[in-house]
Amino acid sequence: MPSAKILEEKQKLVGDLAEAIKNAQSGVLVNYFGITVEKDTALRAELRKNNVTYKVVKNTYIKKAAEIAGITGFESVLEGMTAIAVSDDPIAPAKVLCKFADDNENFEVKAGFIDGRVIDTNEIKSLAAIPSREGLIAKFLGSIQSPLYNFAYAIQAIIDKEGGVPAESAAE
């Protein structure tokens, strides 16, 4: 039987994890078995750069914390060596961890959640394929600019065809 102090520490750890899950927009569970310390350090640095919190936690703690946070459905993937990554950004954990999994065959994305709903590996990969916010803004601006540029080129072609002087200027 664990002492009261150890039990209190475990309860605090589960409570903190449950709070992190509740406050996060998304999270991803991974099997990190077989990656080197060097690769793990690089992964953690990339996750920190993207404001993602990453922790290696016992499966029973993740299960209990998820239940406290109101998320159920992780039971089937909570086996083996599991780590959890959570973030306020709905795409960042999926993007970083899927890229890492593509480069490291032993690293496996198991499942995740977004807005309190459990998602499978395919949905995580779909999230990872979404361009960043900046990329989406650039695409949107490009789509707005393109018709304007085409219109300007068409007007310039008409002006060039009529001898390079706009019709209003020729009448003066």
Q: Are 73 and 145 found together in one domain?
A: no
CA 83, 49, 26, 137 dihedral sign is: negative
Looking at residue 13, what is its pLDDT?
Answer: 92
User: Domain check: are 57 and 137 in the same one?
Assistant: no
Q: What is the DSSP string of 97-146?
A: HHHHHHH-TT-EEEEEEETTEEE-HHHHHHHHHSPPHHHHHHHHHHHHHH
Question: Same domain for 91 and 163?
Answer: no
Contact 51, 89 (CB under 8 A): yes
Asked whether residue 100 falls in the same domain as residue 151, the answer is: no
For residues 89 and 137, state if they share a domain: no
Q: How many domains does the chain have?
A: 2
What's the predicted TM-score (pTM) here? 0.74
Q: Which band of pLDDT confidence, cut at 50, 70 and 90, is reported for residue 29?
A: very high
pLDDT tens-digit series, residues 149-164:
777 778 888 888 887 6
Does residue 103 sit in the same domain as residue 146?
no
The model's pLDDT over 69-113, given as tens digits with 9 standing for 90+, comes to 999 888 888 898 999 999 998 899 999 999 999 998 889 999 999
Domain assignment of residue 51, given as a range: 4-129
